[in-house]
């Protein structure tokens, strides 16, 4: 019922649920704990979040929460299209500071699993985009952190086409990776 594939950083997964359609529309089981467990995705999801971005080129991220509120995220798009990015910030990881991106859209119906130890962000590619995601820990303002989306050490290829992204004040003021001490350690 689910297609699960590892991306260029194998801990980050693309998950595509099946759709069953007819002349009325479609039905899909977008989340099933047991089917995910059967695919070696065993997370204790605690909270659902939804965001809406009115404008294309709205950039949210790169975000993470420090332990004990570190979050796995299962992200999908309800309306519109995004470029979703996960950056490995686990000290000692062979992919530390590397990033992987996946285009998510309502049309493609895919999801991305961003595990604990990764900074996460996305860029809306069309107006009126709604993003829905599950997280494995509740939000904690005291543990909420950001890293610059344009950190030159990452050199993320955001498809901005020369445009300036729409950012929150928090994201505009985010530090570079070299200016933080990541609380995450890679465990092989």
Catalytic positions, please? 63, 133
Distance between CA 25 and CA 172 in Å, rounded? Answer: 41
Question: What's the CA gap between 36 and 99, in Å, rounded?
Answer: 24
Nearest in space to 73 (alpha carbons), one of 33, 118, 32: 118
Q: Which residues contact 89 (CB under 8 A, 6 or more apart)?
A: 64, 96, 97, 117, 118, 119, 147, 177, 182, 184
Check: CB of residue 154 under 8 Å from CB of residue 176. Answer: no
DSSP 58: B
Tokens of 184: 């995450």
Count other C-beta atoms under 10 Å from residue 79's C-beta. Answer: 15
**Most distant CA atoms of the chain, gap in Å:** 55
Contact 99, 86 (CB under 8 A): yes
- CA dist 118 and 23 (Å) reads 41
């Amino acid at each position: 019922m689910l297609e699960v594939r590892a991306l260029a950083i194998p801990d980050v997964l693309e998950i595509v649920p099946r759709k069953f359609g007819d002349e009325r529309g479609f039905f899909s089981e977008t989340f099933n704990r047991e089917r995910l467990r059967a695919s070696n995705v065993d997370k204790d999801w605690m909270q659902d979040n939804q965001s809406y971005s009115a404008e294309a080129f709205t950039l949210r991220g790169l975000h993470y929460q420090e332990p004990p509120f570190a979050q796995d995220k299962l992200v999908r798009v309800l309306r519109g299209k995004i470029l979703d990015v996960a950056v490995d910030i686990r000290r000692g990881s062979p992919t530390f500071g590397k990033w992987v991106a996946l285009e998510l859209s309502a049309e493609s119906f895919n999801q991305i699993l961003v595990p604990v130890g990764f900074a996460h962000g996305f860029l809306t590619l069309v107006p009126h985009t709604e993003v829905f995601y599950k997280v494995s820990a509740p939000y904690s303002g005291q543990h909420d952190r950001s890293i610059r989306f344009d950190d030159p050490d990452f050199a993320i290829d955001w498809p901005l086409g020369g445009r300036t992204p729409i950012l929150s004040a928090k994201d505009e003021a985010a530090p570079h990776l070299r200016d933080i001490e990541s609380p995450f350690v890679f465990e092989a």
